[in-house]
Homo-oligomer: A and B are copies of this chain.
Amino acid sequence: MRKINFGSGPAALPEVVLKEASEAVVGYSNSGLSILELPHRGNYFDAILEESISLVNELCGLDNNYEILWLQGGRLQFSMIPLNFLPNNKKAGYIDSGHWAAEAASYAAFHGDMEIIASSKPSNYNQLPTLHHPINPELAYLYLTTNNTIYGTQWKQLPQVSMPLIADMSSDILGVERTYHQCALFYAVAQKNIGPAGVTLVAIHKDFIKKSLPNNSPILDYKMHTKNRSVLNTPPVFAIYTSLLTLRWIKKIGLSNLLQQNEKKATTLYNEIDRNPLFEGTVVNKSDRSKMNICFTMKQPELETQFLQLCTSQNIEGIAGHRSVGGFRASLYNAVSLNDVEKLVSLMQEFEQSKIQ
């Protein structure tokens, strides 16, 4: 029996995507080969790559101004970004809004001069840090994580800044309204909103990539990946294809419909958290709350195990919060339905009733 999956990633994928991906593993189109056997320098894969790039361009509204890459390694971007865009005589600014932002900053420190320009670490990231403008205009770039998967906070709007803005959008790309064109570079691992584990989408403005530094080895050089159209290294063909299937699914539903649905999912769950006397949200300011990862605890922590067991017995998966926060986390990525959320809400209500009696 298929479970309802609120996991934080690798996350739920649409059933229609799973079905098509599964069929392609046996035989891809009329190629006479499995998608796993498809040469990466051939017409079939070229078409997959082209269509995926065109869909990212369309869905993110990039007007062909960006180089769009499918690379391996999410965390590798933590190093590739400073290697390519942090010159010796400059400093990079990092906004420390959660675990992944802090990790990215700590990696940058291996490669150059890095400054944390705002942090909410002292309050265990239960809110977004406050940005004090003006931010030093001499920064090589400003790096931000749009959505903090573990702590359930999210930047609703990207800051208006004068230096190039670089954003890790791993856990909310194509899941919320976003002005992608504000970024010089943005990237996202696929395994949350747009595909399976094993591939990372990187989009770099065509003006910005011209500024990338020389003397990196080719595999660490964004220019070389661009020049080689994502196949400098043999690409993860299946992960890219499954991401394409997911992008097609988003286009078919319509991005604005999907985003509306995501809004409704988040509102439905937050409303219940705020109404239900047993639960409470972990994020201090409601305006900071993530629409993708909803973090909550129980006012009586001793009830958490019971509620978790209830969820498990009802085929709900991936609801436990990250160990550093505790409680619960429901990740409402694109492939999670409103129905799934309503199922969770009704369990919360059922649990409430059982405690009142």
A29 within 8 A of B: no
Say yes or no: B78 contacts A36, CB within 8 Å: no
Query: How far apart are the CA atoms of A2 and B27 in the complex, in Å?
Result: 8
A315 within 8 A of partner (CB): yes
Contact with B along A312-340 (1 / 0, CB 8 A): 00010110000000000000000000000
Which of A7, A74, A198, A317: most chain B Cβ within 10 A?
A198
Task: Confirm or deny: A22 has a beta carbon within 8 angstroms of a beta carbon on chain B.
Answer: yes
Q: Is there contact, CB below 8 Å, between A33 and B216?
A: no
A219 touches B76 (CB 8 A): yes
Do B10 and A237 touch (CB < 8 A)? yes
Contacting residues, chain B, for A218 (C-beta < 8 A): 75, 107
Contact (Cβ within 8 A) A25 B36: no
Choice from B19, B216, B234, B239 contacting A10 with Cβ under 8 Å: B234
A211-236 Cβ-contact flags toward B at 8 Å (1 or 0): 00001111110000000000011111
Contact: B3 with A33, CB < 8 Å? yes
B239:A238 contact, CB within 8 angstroms? yes
In the assembled complex, A131 has its CB within 8 A of some CB on chain B: no
Contact A233 B7 (CB under 8 A): no
What total of chain A residues lie within 8 Å of the partner, measured CB to CB? 61
A10→B32 contact, CB < 8 A: no
Binds B, one of A37-45, A61-69, A179-187, A264-272: A37-45
Residues in A300-315 with C-beta less than 8 Å from chain B: 315
Chain B min CB distance to A258 (Å): 19
In the bound complex, CA of A5 to CA of B35 (Å): 13
Asked if A11 lies at the interface with its beta carbon under 8 angstroms from chain B, I say yes
Specify which of B10, B22, B74 is in contact with A25 (CB 8 Å cutoff): B22
Contacts of A99 in B (CB 8 A): none
In the assembled complex, the CB of A192 is this many whole angstroms from the nearest CB of chain B, namely 10
A239 touches B111 (CB 8 A): no
Assuming the contacts A5-B37, A34-B13, A216-B110, asked whether A239 and B242 have C-beta atoms less than 8 A apart, the reply is no
Binary contact readout A188-223 vs B (1 if CB under 8 angstroms, 0 otherwise): 010100001111000000000000000111111000
Taking a contact as CB atoms closer than 8 A, the residue among B2, B23, B32, B242 that contacts A32 in the complex is B2
Complex Cα gap A34–B78 (Å): 29
A18 and B26: CB pair below 8 A? yes
Interface check A176, CB cutoff 8 A = no
Q: What is the 8 Å Cβ interface bit string for chain A, positions 8-20, against chain B (1 contact, 0 not)? A: 0111110000110
In the complex, A107→B232 CA distance in Å?
13
